[in-house]
Amino acid sequence: DVKVTQSSRYLVKRTGEKVFLECVQDMDHENMFWYRQDPGLGLRLIYFSYDVKMKEKGDIPEGYSVSREKKERFSLILESASTNQTSMYLCASSKQGDGNTIYFGEGSWLTVV
């Protein structure tokens, strides 16, 4: 079974802190994604990566950056956390190619106080 593991399930951070959310997948997938999920807004794509060291902005990249130094790992970075970044963050991965299933991690609940 494909496994996408998010390092932290629940985090509480202070405004202005630098926050790292880590994600690892074990199926040699080329594509990796970071989404955030908020009530009434559904899932919104922050960043995605289709190869090591490659990244593309999604719909809401402002205030975030990402890093993909190894194929299996995709990190989301909040350079200076703000309260409006309190949310559920979901990492996902998939094989390259049209119509492939996207596999999600269990999510990281981030609260910024």
Based on the shown chain and the rule CB under 8 A, indicate whether residue 111 belongs to the binding site for other proteins. no
Residue 6 contacts by C-beta under 8 Å, 6 or more apart in sequence? Answer: 21, 22, 23, 89, 90, 91, 105, 106, 107, 108
101: left (phi over 0), alpha (psi -120 to 50) or beta: beta
Q: Do 24 and 43 meet the contact criterion of CB atoms below 8 Å apart?
A: no
The smaller minimum CB distance to other proteins, of residues 42 and 84, is found at: 42
Give the nearer residue to other proteins in terms of CB position, either 45 or 77.
Answer: 45
Work out how close the CB of 26 gets to other proteins at its nearest, in angstroms, rounded to a whole number: 15
Pairwise CA distance, residues 89 & 85, whole Å:
10
**Contacting other proteins within 35-94 (CB under 8 A):** 35, 40-45, 48, 50, 56, 58-59, 88, 90, 92, 94
- Binding residues for other proteins (CB under 8 A): 4, 31, 33, 35, 40-45, 48, 50, 56, 58-59, 88, 90, 92, 94, 96-107, 109
